[in-house]
Structure 1
């Protein structure tokens, strides 16, 4: 079971940029970060409107004087306090991630950032260098990777249960944006605007989630890829609302990724299937407590979270917040990641590099690869789906 006895002498003093009133992502961060008592929200720059920010922060129980008009003011003023913030989460539109993350690192803060962390790999590599120089940690919010059965899949691949990995099929293909809903939805409008969203829409917004699951579960590195992308809602051009990517991995495995917002009638359809020489596994985020395991020549079996036949010696697999049979979900996965972020931040603050190196979490390297995926897919698609080298 999950270790609820793990605590610090004092919780990490934590703030948010963005994620104000009505933000689903903002609530997700606050719920997850404070679930285990390792973080305490003490400040925020939640909204572009200072009055709305202050009103919202006070309603969350914060001191009104620590609800700031913008992130620059917050970082400057909090640095002057003995009880100033130690970490910040960034839940703002994509175009702002790089500048806010850089400012936070230069203010000696640990960071949790939404993805994509930057628009270019050069920017992401710069953030990595600043973090290393200042002994700060960057966490990237790939929220689905905290599910115990994702960690079970990772361990099964690592221990050779599937044999040699041959094929990986990834998809995240919902149908919620099959029409031009952005005309009346500001939250969608910025996601389909290149100056705010960046060079991609569904590839960066949801495709990177599925791709990161592949990275987590298999550890394989892409060698080259080919991408075709479409804007079925023409006003979204040049950003895609549907994309298909073919990949070749180092070592000989191959894969596909389908990212879509126009899969009419679908909820999420975020699935990953890993095919090995002996067996295959499949995980679906709408049924996250189960992992389908298929051994050639044997009946398929469904592995359930929280059961003794799983690899319970692996912390991520054993991190069950309630017994098997009960439904754990999205918030638990996020909380598991924030728990790991807290442990990493604490280890860095103590300069315990050995402990830090042993903590798995989606960090800056995960962020870099997500940005690289988007860049390479755009490069390929702009050349009529030509195969391009990944690195």
Structure 2
């Protein structure tokens, strides 16, 4: 593969409703869409999942654009790549900036699978024809409103509920959910809102048979997570802590958690995500695919990754209509009875809607 032309677009799409976590709330989603054309005229697509502020990781949409334009694209444009795995090797001189790297690596994987005439899922080694999905629910204005939201998503068939928690919105909220929905698969996502000083509070969650508590402590607290995991019976799932295969290996060795959330952008692309998946499968650590409020391109990559065998827990890849009045792909991602059908078409399996993309584009730049 030799990419001859790359187009970066900054899009801004408004979500149907605000999304709130322990870090704050927002409704407008700005992101980068990357279009790559190879020497044979094939087009591959990638999507940056970085937010506009560095609350999730140190990366932002603007830093991703800078890294792509000034460092990443100059290295890869017009240079031969035999396999997408080589992309991360060629970019290894750049420290971190995983979301920027993932943006272009996703386009290479799309191109590669198109040229092989197979789906992206098959190119990655996946063999599922459908994937099981859950839903991620932000912090609501009231517990009553949260219960109504959960009830609505259960009616749509979603297989598990993930609710955001933070100090002051945690044990009592989970207690009320369990009172109304005693058997629903339920997990709590803390987004690093707690410290070891909160062990006694977090122990109270053991009573409610949660599937997991996601990232309760700071992103760099492997040791503290291990201490907390020994103190509670609820499985800890690591999210923000995991940026690479090496992070995963160390977390497993330390006993920092019993479940891993794999996000393509956070770990630097599909190649690294697959390595993490394989390691966790060897060590009998279940994994699931987290979401970053992606539009259709990023959502398509998540679906393909989730077809790998050790993705045994429902992920966050909800249907397009969960977030958008209209998505940028055709057909839009659909959820039926808690499952998404996996496309067997070559590449990502969805066709970008150029009219919709143009509608939401606020900045565009071409590189040859």
- Structure-2-length-normalised TM-score: 0.31
Which protein is bigger by CA-based radius of gyration?
1
TM-score normalised by length of structure 1? 0.29
